[in-house]
Amino acid sequence: MPAQPLPDFSTSVRLKYVKLGYQYLVNHFLTLLLIPMIATCVLELVRRGPEELISVYNSLDLDVIHILCSSFVIIFVLTVYYMSRPRPVYLVDYACFKPAPSCRVPFATFMEHTSMICEDPKSVQFQTRILERSGLGEETCLPPANHYIPPNPTMEAARAEAQLVIFSAIDDLIKKTGLQPKHIDILVVNCSLFSPTPSLSAMIVNKYKLRSNIKSFNLSGMGCSAGLLSIDLARDLLQVLPGSNALVISTEIITPNFYKGNRRDMLLPNCLFRMGAAAILLSNRRRDATRAKYRLLHVVRTHKGADDRAYRCVYQEEDSDGHCGISLSKDLMAIAGDALKSNITTIGPLVLPMSEQLLFFFTLVGRKLINPTLRPYIPDFKQAFEHFCIHAGGRAVIDELQKSLQLSAEHVEASRMTLHRFGNTSSSSLWYELNYIESKGRMKRGDRVWQIGFGSGFKCNSAVWKCLRTVKTPVDGPWAECIHRYPVDIPEIVKL
């Protein structure tokens, strides 16, 4: 038989096995080192026999003082170690707001309303093009006030929306966890665009009759990444207060923010932002460890506001006609990519296995010292995480992250499907995505989840969770009635 050239797949298979072998070697290096050492020690001890061991011990000539001091030192070191460890933060459970189907906005209705409200046909055409390529579906919902022609954004309507979404989510959470409102110690609410007096957190305290010594916070103006900021704040507070729990509410109130003008860079939020809210219960109590779903491993916050371009990237201002809107600059994707790079530079060493970190380090050294044209090594985050929740800010964001992190379609499925079913619900979208993964029965014990949020500022925040118990389907939540229809194939352009 003539020697045939090796087919391509065989070389890549060989490379795959080399890579696997390298990973096992590096990641389990300590284990691989310790096991032979322990084996040698055990063999040695067994060889020497008990009498020799006793004689070695006697020869040490230890008396009570020595033993007491050594034990004291050991106990002291252990105590300091355990006390200085951060308190574990558990996510007991969370609930997302499920909008009523009568609030839904089909594409045809949206375009009809836009044509009737907007005087400029070019704006109408622009919004049609955005909607066609947006990746949204026909079941996304807007608050009741935005269904009017023209929309009716009174403060009363905004408060009504806030009450509807927040109270529904909290009621759901109370049902799921058996939480008693009087037992809530910390309350953090984040809602970027609507900030009435008294605050939304005061509204919750009032409705649920929370305790008078509750630590409540209301974060506003912090954009779509504020959900993870609230988690970070709650975590820091839970380090200081032992045996407490924290209720975190992430939402965005759409009613007051309908843009009435014609500037193209301000029309995107009208097309993409939809109603949503999430209520999360965090706890540092040991007894919640058995019933909690997740444990918070890391939160990494990156703020690029020091750079002027990043600062003005998502900017709320009035246009020439006096209409207030949020303008999104053209270099949004570039700045997001930049912020993401900073964020993963910080989070990489915390979560990546040693094999990836070494590869990255050597490539970095190689680029700096040997050959600057070497391609930078992008660490394989798929080895650090089983699930990814990328903020469903828009199709472009998800596409960009899928490309830069080299994720497969299944990894970004949760984000795409959430964008399709619920639209861009701002800070709460990460929780809808997590719920999607759970509803699909993919969340197993020990799985790690990476939530990435982007927001005005420009900020990129990450949170890493570890699943503590396998989540059994069916899952009660916003996906309950429609999960069987997903995933759907979302066309590039929907013809309107």
Partner 1 sequence: MTVSVETRRSRVTVYAKSTAPSLTPVKPGKTHEFTALDHSMSRHSVHLVCYYRQEPTVTMTALKESLCDVLSYYPAMTGRLVKNEGDGCGEWMVKCNDAGVRMVDARADTTLDEFLASATDEEERQLAYWEDVGSDPYLWSPYCIQFTDFKDGSMAVGISCTHFHADPTCVAVFARAWSETHRRALVTCPPFFHPWAFYPRKNPVPSSPHLSEKSTIPPPLHPPAMSSVTFAFSASSVRQCLADLQLSNLSPFDALASLLWLRISSYKSASLGTAQLTLAVDCRRRMSAPLPLGFYGNALHFFGVKADLSSGWIHIASELNRHVSGIKEDDVWSSVEWLHERSKEKAFQMYGPELTCLAWDNVPVYNAEFSPGAIPVHVGCRIGNAQGEGLVVIMAGAPGEGEEARTVIVTLPTDLTAQIYRDEAILKYGPKIMFSPNI
What is the distance between the alpha carbons of residues 269 and 136, in angstroms, rounded to a whole number?
Answer: 13
Is 183 known to be catalytic?
Answer: no
Catalytic residue among 224, 313, 460, 467: 224
* Smallest gap from residue 149 Cβ to partner 1 (A): 5
79 forms part of the interface with partner 1 (CB under 8 A) = no
Is 118 known to be catalytic?
A: no
Question: Which is catalytic among the residues 103, 420, 460, 461?
Answer: 420
Question: Exposed/middle/buried for 82, CB within 10 Å: 0-12, 13-18, 19+?
Answer: exposed
DSSP per-residue codes, 263-310? -HHHHHHHHHB--EEEEEEEE--GGGGTT-SEEEEEEEEEE-TTSHHH
Active-site position among 190, 313, 387, 467? 387
488 touches partner 1 by CB under 8 A: no
CB of 213 to partner 1, least distance (A): 38
Cβ neighbours, 10 Å, residue 242: 10
Distance in angstroms (rounded) separating the CA atoms of residues 20 and 445: 24
User: In the stretch 319-358, what mask flags binding to partner 1 with x, by CB under 8 A?
Assistant: ----------------------------------------
Look up 298 and say whether it is catalytic: no
Q: 113 or 387, CB closer to partner 1?
A: 113
Alpha helices in 60-106 (DSSP H): 64-84
Evaluate the CA torsion angle 99, 253, 325, 145 in order and state its sign.
positive
Closest CB to partner 1 among residues 23, 152: 152
Is position 35 an interface residue for partner 1 (rule: CB under 8 A)?
A: no
Query: Least Å distance between CB 275 and partner 1?
Result: 14
Nearer to partner 1, 104 or 207 (CB): 104
* 411 annotated active-site: no
Q: How far is the CB of 169 from partner 1 (least distance, A)?
A: 20
96 is a catalytic site residue: no
Peptide bond preceding 487 in cis form (omega within 30 of 0)? yes
- As a residue count, the chain comes to 496
* Binding-site string for partner 1 from residue 151 to residue 180, where x marks contact by CB under 8 A and - marks none: -x----------------------------
The C-alpha atoms of residue 349 and residue 353 are separated, in whole angstroms, by 8
Q: Which residue lies nearer to partner 1 by CB, 336 or 417?
A: 417
* Residue numbers 91-150 binding partner 1 by CB under 8 A: 100-102, 104-109, 112-113, 115-116, 138-139, 147-149
Residue-wise DSSP of 27-64: HTHHHHHHHHHHHHHHHHHHHH-HHHHHHHHHHT---H
- Is residue 303 flagged as an active site residue? yes
Q: Closest by alpha carbon to 294, among 440, 166, 471?
A: 471
Extract the tokens encoding 127. Answer: 């919004």
118 vs 282, beta carbon nearer partner 1: 118
For partner 1, the closer CB: 44 or 492:
492
- Considering the rule CB under 8 A, would residue 459 count as an interface residue with partner 1? no
CA torsion angle 164 166 169 175 (round to 10): -90
Q: Shortest approach of partner 1 to residue 3 CB, angstroms?
A: 57
Active-site position among 391, 411, 461, 467: 391
Compute the least distance from the CB of residue 104 to partner 1, in Å.
5
The residue from 147, 303, 324, 482 that is catalytic is 303
Q: Is 365 in the site for partner 1 (CB under 8 A)?
A: no
Torsion angle (degrees, nearest 10) of CA 112, 113, 119, 122: -50
384 neighbors 405 (Cβ within 8 angstroms): no
**Contact residues for partner 1, defined by CB under 8 A:** 100-102, 104-109, 112-113, 115-116, 138-139, 147-149, 152
Q: Which residues are catalytic?
A: 224, 303, 387, 391, 420, 424
